[in-house]
Structure 1
Amino acid sequence: MKKYFIGISILATSLFLAACGASNQSEQSGTSASTEKIQAIATFYPMYEFTKEVLGDEGEVELLIPAGTEPHDYEPSAKDVAKISQADAFVYNSEELETWVDSIEDSLDDTTLVIEASEKIDLIESADDHDHDHDHDHEKDPHVWTDPVMAIKEVETIRDQLSEKYPDKKAAFEKNAAAYIEKLQELDDDFRAAFADAENTTFVTQHAAFGYLAKQYGLTQKSIAGISPDQEPSPSRLAELKHYVEDHGVKVIYFEENANKKVAETLSKETGVKLAVLNPLESLTTQQMEDGETYLTIMRKNLEALKESIQ
């Protein structure tokens, strides 16, 4: 009889422990689901970095447009669209740059949060003062990210929209964004200090990617090409620029590492003015990313490069 009761006791204990184990496993499974990382996709490098900084440990970000690829001419493949649809969040700059977004939105899953980072920014009219021998798709200038102040606005938009969809992670997003925005504000302060008393306020660039930066800091951008870097100027435009460089005592002509610099080199040779890099951050190469280059490090290099022309 005693053995019978002992057996019943052991069985009851085993059932109780099994039930506890199942309950714990269920709780752990629920916890795992609630803490699963947000999967985001961002179109090109600045959007990638801004999103990554806001998400922090709460998510992972994939770069849609391959490193070193020009975003102006990019068109997503069916595989890319499927990838975007499977993501929790999709971040892009604006339909002025990613002109294809409107055509794919209907095919995206309803669960995908679509964030237009420049949503709260009034885009300025295209500042390209070159001749219009070539048609282009841009009526307004999309290059807001080259201005640290506009970059802050984009980070804030990404933060706010992610917080709205994931309210339980809002505190983390706000903390992450605040830390990054502080660095952007320091960058803004340094740009303001550098150009506060500038004597020469004009700089010549390969393409019109720095209109917002110029406007923010009281500078004037003179571009060889227009909004898109692949727009080649006519001979008359080059002749006009040659006179402009000579008449205004321009010291530097800026080219881009990840674009064809042939025209900039031609203008440099004809005027005897040196070349320097001004990076529009439209794409970073794989090597640059592996070397730890970021939006902040490249913008600081841009600041130092611009000082040569302005001071």
Structure 2
Amino acid sequence: MASYMKIRMGWKFGVLLLAALLLLSGCGSSNSESKIVEGKVNVVTSFYPIYEFATEIGGEDANVLNLMPVGVEPHDWTPRSQEILNTSKAQLFFYNGAGLEGWIDSFLKGLGSDSKVKTVEVSQGIALIDSEEEDGHHHGEEGHDHGHNHGHDHGHIDPHTWVSPKSAMIMAENIKNSYIEVDPAHREQYEARYEQLNTRLQELDAKFTEELSKTNRKDIVVSHQSFGYLCRDYGLSQHSIMGLTPEAEPKAQDLVNLSKLVKERGIQYIFFEELVSDKLVNTLASEAGVKTLVLNPVEGLTKQQEQAGENYFTLMEKNLQNLVLALQ
């Protein structure tokens, strides 16, 4: 059985690799200059959730381009010169900030002094979480430049703001205000579409609040520390196998401690993410005798999810279902 699973996992990985290669060969043309549309507000977004909110609020008044290709882990990606050129011709550039986009400093420098693009850090106004007290072991990357824009030191800041509907509401408002600033003529339209989006986010928030307040358990074990904002806003505690970035490797002692925690608290499920290898999750799960479930940090859609019409809301609903299942 184990070897069958191995073969199956290997085959799955091969398919994923092939898909990734096809995607890479295909995305050279997808970001070409022709995408800049005259007569609309041209918006470039750094990754999926911002793209979705910007598209919803922008409606027919905006032409929104997402920098990151489908199915890519945002921590692993860096823009190329074509994308920098495109962005320099746009009216708005939305990025998350809080240290998510490690490439942001050089990207903004690359836009050139004659570019009129308005750059907006959409996490502005969210109370950021310093991840250091969460678990201090994965910060061996002091030397890296984590995008110290605006004079903040984002070295140990948890960048996964959007995973909580409460943060998403602030992001949506920042996006709406930026649209109005660059295109005041369509203020009413932006306000109306923003109100629709905000209502949906409020409903999602209310659902998370209600359903998670009723669970007996409050501890979740996750592969990466991507759920700090979600846990803070809905009264849960996350225990992560790895740190903030997918490259962070756990120490043997961390796995032993987690295994102990799982047994002591009677945890039934360990969560893993779709865009990241789940080898370690499976190891820990089989050691601790528990099952695995997906908890999606909604950093991007896979090709299949895109074709199935999935979006921020459908993925967050699934997250809530899986959380309720794990915490009952």
TM-score, length of structure 1 as denominator length: 0.85
* Greater Cα offset, 128-137 or 235-244: 128-137
Task: Show CA shifts across 1:279-310 (max 9, x none).
Answer: 00112112211210000000000000000121
Q: 218, 225, 231: which is aligned to 1:214?
A: 231
- Name the SS of the counterpart of 1:75 in structure 2: coil
Match of 2:135 in 1: 129
Match of 1:245 in 2: 262
Matched, 1:275 2:292: yes
Relative to structure 1, the CA distance from residue 130 to residue 106 in structure 2 (aligned partners, 3 Å threshold; closer, same or farther) is closer
Q: 306, 325, 328: which is aligned to 1:289?
A: 306
Alpha carbons 2:224, 2:246 under 8 Å: kept: yes
Match of 2:21 in 1: none
Matched, 1:143 2:160: yes
Match of 2:32 in 1: none
RMSD over equivalenced CA pairs, Å: 1.7
Alpha carbons 1:130, 1:233 under 8 Å: kept: no
Alpha carbons 2:270, 2:291 under 8 Å: kept: yes
Counterpart CA distance in 2 for 1:78 and 1:68 is 21
Aligned residues: 278
Task: Show CA shifts across 1:257-297 (max 9, x none).
Answer: 11100000000100110000000011211221121000000
Counterpart CA distance in 2 for 1:103 and 1:95 is 16
- Name the SS of the counterpart of 2:197 in structure 1: helix
Counterpart CA distance in 2 for 1:62 and 1:88 is 12
TM-score, length of structure 2 as denominator length: 0.81
Identity between Structure 1 and Structure 2 (%):
38
* Deviation (angstroms), 1:148: 0.1
Q: List, as ranges, runs of 4+ consecutive aligned residues in structure 1 with deviation greater than 3 Å.
A: none
* Greater Cα offset, 132-141 or 261-270: 132-141
Instruction: Flag structure 1 segments of 5+ consecutive residues without an equivalent.
Output: 1-34
Larger radius of gyration: 1
Alpha carbons 2:67, 2:83 under 8 Å: kept: yes
* Deviation (angstroms), 1:194: 0.5
* Deviation (angstroms), 1:39: 1.6
AA aligned to 1:157 is N
Alpha carbons 2:41, 2:183 under 8 Å: kept: no
Alpha carbons 1:206, 1:255 under 8 Å: kept: yes
Match of 1:87 in 2: 90
- Name the SS of the counterpart of 1:96 in structure 2: coil
Match of 1:31 in 2: none
Relative to structure 1, the CA distance from residue 133 to residue 63 in structure 2 (aligned partners, 3 Å threshold; closer, same or farther) is closer
Task: Show CA shifts across 1:232-252 (max 9, x none).
Answer: 211111111111111111111
* Deviation (angstroms), 1:101: 1.4
Q: 210, 216, 229: which is aligned to 1:193?
A: 210
Match of 2:121 in 1: 116
* Deviation (angstroms), 1:133: 6.8
Match of 1:47 in 2: 50
Counterpart CA distance in 2 for 1:197 and 1:258 is 30
Relative to structure 1, the CA distance from residue 268 to residue 241 in structure 2 (aligned partners, 3 Å threshold; closer, same or farther) is same
AA aligned to 1:115 is V
